[in-house]
Every structure is written in C-alpha cells, then in structure tokens.
C-alpha cells in the first residue's frame, strides 16, 4: 500500500491523545465515499484490549541495553515498533500502541541515554517512501515527542540489521548523530528536535529515489567517550558506510568538523555492518559482503586499535574451506575489555554460530555447539521438529553491561537470552530461552473464531498459523502437516465447525510442488493434506463440511479497462465430496470468481461476478454454477477485486442465517437476505473495509457486526448491534497499533469480543469493559 505524508510539525504524543495520521490512498477513497453518508449514530464503547499470546514471531534486528541502569533494555523490531523490558513485570512492554502512524513502527535505530535512564531516542520510519521521525521520550517510552525528519529511513528494508545508526554524544548529550541511508550523516544539537547534514562528511548520500536497494548508506556511528569532557563535544567519532566505494570507515578527531578515511581498512568488497568500541579503545567491526538480512556469502571480523592505528583480522573461521556466509551481530563486554561475541549471518549449512572470545579475538569458542534451547514457553519454535533451530538472521547480539553472563541474540523468529554465557569458558552447556514475553511482532493474514472448539484459528505470515486454546499462552505447535510459510485463508463448515480448511504458501524448505491446502476434522487441531489436480491456494468448505472447493489464485488483469490486478482463477476450480480422493471440475464459474459457502444451506455456494456486478450460484454442492440476477449492487465491482489472496474477499455469508449475504465494496456496504436476489445499501456512516460477525447482542437474534473502516480520515475498529445501521468505535487513542489492521473476526460465543490481526503487532483482542 502506498502511503502519502500529511503535514505534521513538532508533535507531542501522550497516552490517550491522538497525534498525526497518515492516510493511505485507499483510506482517502474510503473517506470520500463516507463523506456523502449521514451517520445515524456514531459513538464510542469502552473496551479492554490485550494481545493474543504467540511470543515473538518476527524479526527484531537488535537489543539495546541501557548503560545507565541495570535491568533496562530496549528491543527494536522491523515492523512492530519498539519495546522496553520491565524487570518488575518480567515482560516486554510495547511502547508505540498509541501511535496512529504506521510508518513509525519500522524502527531504524534506538539510542538509550548513557546517563539518564529515563531518556531514550528512536529513529522510526518503515520504508523510504513513507514518513520518518525521531521519537524522544523522557519517561522510558511511556510518552513520546515526535520530530518528523526530512531524511528518509527504512526500518523494514534491506540493511535493517546493521547498526546502531543513532548515537548520543556522552559528553554533551544534547548532541546526537544519525547515520542515514540516503542523506549522509545527520547531526542534532537540540536533543533530536532539528537536524542538519554534516557537510564535511565525505559521503553525502544518494537520495532515497536514486539509491539502489543494496545501497543503505551509513551503518553505524560510534563516539569515543574518552575523547570528550563534560559539557564539551566528544572529539573522536567513527562512522561505517556500506555504499559502494573503496573506503567504508571514516574518522573525525575534531568533533565532526573534518573527516578522514581510516588507513589500512579491509578490502572494499567487505562492508562494515556493526561496530562497537571497548574501554581500551579497540573498535571491533563485523563485515559482510552485503547488508542482509539475506544475500550474504562472505564476511570477516576485524579489530582496530584506535590508539596505534593497527588493524587485525580476527575472523573466527578463515581459509578457503570455511562455510559460506558473513558476520553481523556484535557486542563487546563493558566489564571485560577483550571479551566479544559475534554472530555469523546467512550461514545456512550447517547453520549460524555465536562465537565468543575473551582475548581480543586471538582465540574463539563456538557457543552453538555448547547450547541447548528450551522453547517450552513458545513451542511453535520447534516448527514440527524435535528441537528448535539455533536461529537465522542473527543481526543483533547484546551483552548486558551489568552482567557478563547475561547475553541475548535476535533471530528471524525470536530473541534468545541466557544468563549462563560464561559457562562457555569452561566448556559447559549454555541454556537459552526465548526472551519474548510481551513481544508480539507478527503479520496476521487471516482469523476465524469458531462456535465450538478453540476460540480462535489464525493464519500468519512466515509462521504458518495456530489453534488458540488459551489466549494467554503460546500455542503448543503451529499448523503442521503441512507447515505453510503463510496461511492466507481459513474457512469452516457452518453446521459442523469440526471441519476446517486452510490454504497458503509452501514453507521455504519444503519440496517443490508441496501441498498448499489442508483440512481438519477436529476444529483445526490436526490436519490432513489435500492435493487437487491443479495447484491451488484458495479453498472453501460447504455448510455441512462435505464439499471442498479448491481454486488456484494468481494475479492477472481482470480486463482491458480495469485498473485492478486480480487474484483470479487462471485454472479450473475443482470440488471434492470425499476428502480429496477424487475431484470434479467446476462448471459455469467465471474467471475472477472466488466461491463462498452459505453457512446454513449445505448445497449452496455463491460467487461474485466483479465485471458485471452479479452473482453466480450453485445448488449442487459447488459442481455447477448459474448466473443469478441481482438487484441493488453497484454497476461494476471491478475496483473491489482483491489484489492478493491475503485480502478479505468482498462477498461474505452470515453464520446461522440461510441466504444472508454481505458485499463489502468501495461504494458501500450491501446486504441481502434473499440469497443474493436483491441487495440493499446499508447507510451506517462508516466506510467498511473488513467485516466480521460475532455473537448477537443480548435480546437479539442477528449477529453483532465488527468492522475495520473509515469515518472521515479515522481508520478504526467498530461494532454494530443493529445490522450496520449504526456503529460504535471500540478502540481508542491508546490502542491505535499504527492503524495497521489486516483482518478481523468476531467471537460467536462471547458477545462483544473481537479479534484483530495487525501488520506487526500480532493479534489483539478487545472486550467490553465491565
């Protein structure tokens, strides 16, 4: 989705206060549609919001320990915002939930004040084309001041694991430096409020529109605390650069007034990705031949003695036969100079390694071979295997500056931590556990709440999906047999919810042609493969659970005059009545149609004809379709064709109601009670984007409706207790989640409960405040 910035000056964000909204092009269109509607009633309902627990689940590029206070740490994620560790509550606390600007959830860098533990700075901006800002907090992230920047960031782009780019001068803490991707070295002298480019720095940046994807500018800024005095700027600064060129490390000895390339640095093909200085003045640097998190095949580790100017190659594995891959994660021990931990990157075979040295790199110990992982708190990390993987994409490594045995490292799916790292010195086992309690950093693609069995079934990007028996505990395992990379769609039989089907994309390590469909006969707890005659990724189940319909979804234009790129049916659809033992081609279904099942009538399926704004109906369990004349829909629905299988399909059938259908269109919300023969537009004052059904309000027999939608420029979560005639806003300014709402499901067993899948903050669910 392309987003365009609004005008925001200096902004103050406090819990409960709305700040700055970035409306998307789609939101603008929805807002224009809703402007013509006179709402009958719009009000707020008081809700309590929580996360459904999975535990981690995504890429957190780095962990930042405070050097000012024991037990204080921050975690930056690539699309889920920034977290703070609370030792008192023994969990990570999300710090950006009140922020409405989705771009600020892509974290480029974090800097914790080295003296005042209450002060922290965050460089926030998810993609180069989106707004970016420096966030400053005086109370450990409880509230924020937001200073939009003219330079661009890429917290979820290639090179997001390098760092840290943001640095506070320890001698004069009003001075900050930020190593930007596209706009050179930036400096602030007013604690992050305003910024200017350091004109003397030799790398000015290419500008975000001209830079190639692998040109990510400055990777780290390191300030030597021994080179300054209180109240006067530090003189020595080191800056790593990953852009093409013959020199990648630069030094200033006069507080940034002039710069020189550091003599003797490694060959130009190696890029400095992480740098840290120890208390003896030795700068340790990890190098890779790419910025990651993918595509790295070579690398090295060097130490640079800043006092003598001597470089030493201290790469743990050298020689012509070392495994492919580079290095990225790096941390020096604040208590013990010469003690360093580094991590390999993209060492896929036999796997990435943590290396530890206690003598400045002369000798190294392989920590991986001594490690055991206990993932009982987040068992999905087993991925259906007997043991959890050590991890991949290890971009962040952090040694606690107050406890040398306490070390954490980040991976593509979790953060591991141990308090036993010093066991490695004696060759003893090191126990690691996920350090993610409170972290929900996932992209949620689909949600279904069943009338029986687990309250919630979920489909995720990258981690398949889950049956959630207990919302406060991480599920025992992912959906397996098969494990999907993405689970894009889940459907259940309206009269027999034991029968569930799902479709998705095969896992990266699975064989070509691996199944992308599965069914369950126990509410989604266990699964069996489905193999239709043609590859398929979209599946629907009849109300009685007898018929499965499978269709291949591909992206192609709907027609010469349509602007839509369609998730359409390029190959025939097939239906099976015997759990996949035999399949019958579907007849009469137009291209671009996605069948859905009536939730009560077992033989009935419906499909939208987008081009002609009509319905096709099957009354023989999906085997044949005939066009049905429909009144009341817009003239055309070509602009409502989903561009991805991850999007909600516009046509929906109401649970428990025969022939009751809804169409979610750009022109409005349309409702039919006669199996699609006629539709009426529902004028409720909210332009609905995603719709869901939940338990009926007390005293009524029609399901409560839940929606993600727009009123004016406000994208929010809504509930209707009167079939869409009026809506209550049920989230508030403390629960914005970047307004990154991807899917929604109402609970059919608990009135008022709604589940919302976000793009970066996992699954949140709300219930009326008692």
Catalytic residues: 78, 462
User: Which candidate, 163, 189, 191, 165, places its Cα nearest to that of 178?
Assistant: 165
Q: Which helix (H) or strand (E) holds 86?
A: strand 82-86
φ, ψ of residue 379 in degrees (nearest 5): -65, -10
Strands 271-277 and 282-288: antiparallel
* Residue 621 C-beta-side C-alpha neighbours within 13 Å: 15
Residues 378 and 399: their CA atoms lie apart, in Å, by 23
DSSP class of 102? G
Measure CA 37 to chain center: 34
Residues facing residue 555 across a β-bridge? 567
DSSP-derived secondary structure for 636-683: --GGGS-SSTTSPPSEEE-TT-TT-EEEEETTEEEEESSTTSB-EEE-
Q: Report d(CA 435, CA 501) in Å as an integer.
A: 33
Q: How far, CA to CA in Å, does 593 sit from each of 120, 269, 458, 683?
A: 51, 50, 24, 27
Burial of residue 47 (number of CB atoms within 10 Å: 0-12, 13-18, 19+): buried
H/E stretch holding 26: helix 25-35
Q: Is 25 helix (H, G, I), strand (E, B) or coil?
A: helix
**What's the Cα-to-Cα distance from 143 to each of 139, 439, 733, rounded to whole Å?**
7, 19, 13
Give rounded-to-5 percent helix, strand, coil for the chain.
5, 35, 60
Instruction: Round to whole Å and give the CA distance between 373 and 770.
Output: 41
- In sequence order, what are the residues at sequence separation of 6 or more whose Cβ sits closer than 8 angstroms to the Cβ of residue 344? 299, 323, 325, 326, 327, 328, 352, 353, 355, 394
Half-sphere exposure of 224 (CA within 13 A, CB side): 22
């Amino acid at each position: 989705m392309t987003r365009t910035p609004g005008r925001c000056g200096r902004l103050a964000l406090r819990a409960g206060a709305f700040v700055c909204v970035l409306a998307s092009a789609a939101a603008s269109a929805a807002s224009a549609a809703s402007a013509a509607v006179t709402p009958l009633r719009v009000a707020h309902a008081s809700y309590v919001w929580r996360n459904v627990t999975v535990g981690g689940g995504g890429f957190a590029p780095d962990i930042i320990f405070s050097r000012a206070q024991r037990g204080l740490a921050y975690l930056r994620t690539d699309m889920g915002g920034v977290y703070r560790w609370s030792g008192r509550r023994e969990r990570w606390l999300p710090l950006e939930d009140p922020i409405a600007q989705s771009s600020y959830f892509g974290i480029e860098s974090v800097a914790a004040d080295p003296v005042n533990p209450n002060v922290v700075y965050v460089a926030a901006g998810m993609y180069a084309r989106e707004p970016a800002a420096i966030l400053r907090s005086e109370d450990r992230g409880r509230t924020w001041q937001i200073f939009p920047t003219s330079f661009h960031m890429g917290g979820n782009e290639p090179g997001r694991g390098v760092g840290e780019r943001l640095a506070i001068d320890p001698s004069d803490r009003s001075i900050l430096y930020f190593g930007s991707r596209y706009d050179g070295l930036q400096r602030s002298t007013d604690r992050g409020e305003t910024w200017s480019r350091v004109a003397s720095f030799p790398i000015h940046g290419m500008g975000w529109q001209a830079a190639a994807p692998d040109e990510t500018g400055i990777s780290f800024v390191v300030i030597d605390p021994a080179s300054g005095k209180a109240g006067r700027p530090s003189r020595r600064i080191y800056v790593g650069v990953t852009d093409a060129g013959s020199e990648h490390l630069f030094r200033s000895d006069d507080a940034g007034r002039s710069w020189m390339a550091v003599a003797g640095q490694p060959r130009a093909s190696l890029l400095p990705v992480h740098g840290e200085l120890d208390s003896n003045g030795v700068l340790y640097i990890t190098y890779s031949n790419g910025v990651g998190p993918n595509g790295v095949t070579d690398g090295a580790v060097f130490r640079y003695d800043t006092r003598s100017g001597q470089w030493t190659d201290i790469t743990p594995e050298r020689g012509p036969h070392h495994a492919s891959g580079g290095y990225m994660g790096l941390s020096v021990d604040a208590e013990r100079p010469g003690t360093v931990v580094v991590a390999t990157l993209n060492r896929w075979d036999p796997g990435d390694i943590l290396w530890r040295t206690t003598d400045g790199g002369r000798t190294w110990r392989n920590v991986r071979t001594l490690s055991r992982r206990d993932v009982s708190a987040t068992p999905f990390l087993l991925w259906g295997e007997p043991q959890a993987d050590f991890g991949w994409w290890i971009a962040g490594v952090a040694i606690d500056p107050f406890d040398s045995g306490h070390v954490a490292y980040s991976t593509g799916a979790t953060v591991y931590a141990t308090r036993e790292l010093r066991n490695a010195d004696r060759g003893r086992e090191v126990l690691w556990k996920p350090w993610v309690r409170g972290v929900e950093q996932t992209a949620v693609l689909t949600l279904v709440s069943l009338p029986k069995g687990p309250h919630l079934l979920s489909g995720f990007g990258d981690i398949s999906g889950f049956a959630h028996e207990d919302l406060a505990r991480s599920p025992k395992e992912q959906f397996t047999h098969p494990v999907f990379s993405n689970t894009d769609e889940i459907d259940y039989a309206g009269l027999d919810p034991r029968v569930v089907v799902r479709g998705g994309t095969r896992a990266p390590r699975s064989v070509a042609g691996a199944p992308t469909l599965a069914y369950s006969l126990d509410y989604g707890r266990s699964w069996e493969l489905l193999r239709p005659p043609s590859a398929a990724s979209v599946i629907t189940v009849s109300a009685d659970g007898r018929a499965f319909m499978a269709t291949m979804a591909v992206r192609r234009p709907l027609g010469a005059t349509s602007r839509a790129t369609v998730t359409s049916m390029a190959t025939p659809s097939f239906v099976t009545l015997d759990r996949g033992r035999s399949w019958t081609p579907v007849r009469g279904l137009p291209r671009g149609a996605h069948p859905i099942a009536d939730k009560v009538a077992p033989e009935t399926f419906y499909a939208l004809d987008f081009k002609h704004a009509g319905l096709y109906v099957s009354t023989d369990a999906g085997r044949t379709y005939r066009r049905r004349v429909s009144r009341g829909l817009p003239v055309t629905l070509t602009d409502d064709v989903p561009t991805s299988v991850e999007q909600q399909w516009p046509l929906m059938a109401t649970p428990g109601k025969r022939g009751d259908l809804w169409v979610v269109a750009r022109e409005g919300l349309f409702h039919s009670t006669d199996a699609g023969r006629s539709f009426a537009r529902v004028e409720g004052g909210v332009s609905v984007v995603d719709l869901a059904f939940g338990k009926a309000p007390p005293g009524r027999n029609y399901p409560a409706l839940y929606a993600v939608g727009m009123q004016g420029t406000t994208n929010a979560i809504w509930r209707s207790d009167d079939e869409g005639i009026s809506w209550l806003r049920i989230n508030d300014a403390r629960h914005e989640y970047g307004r990154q709402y991807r899917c929604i499901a109402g609970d059919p067993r608990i009135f008022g409960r709604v589940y919302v899948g976000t793009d970066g903050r996992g699954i949140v669910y709300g219930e009326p405040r008692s």
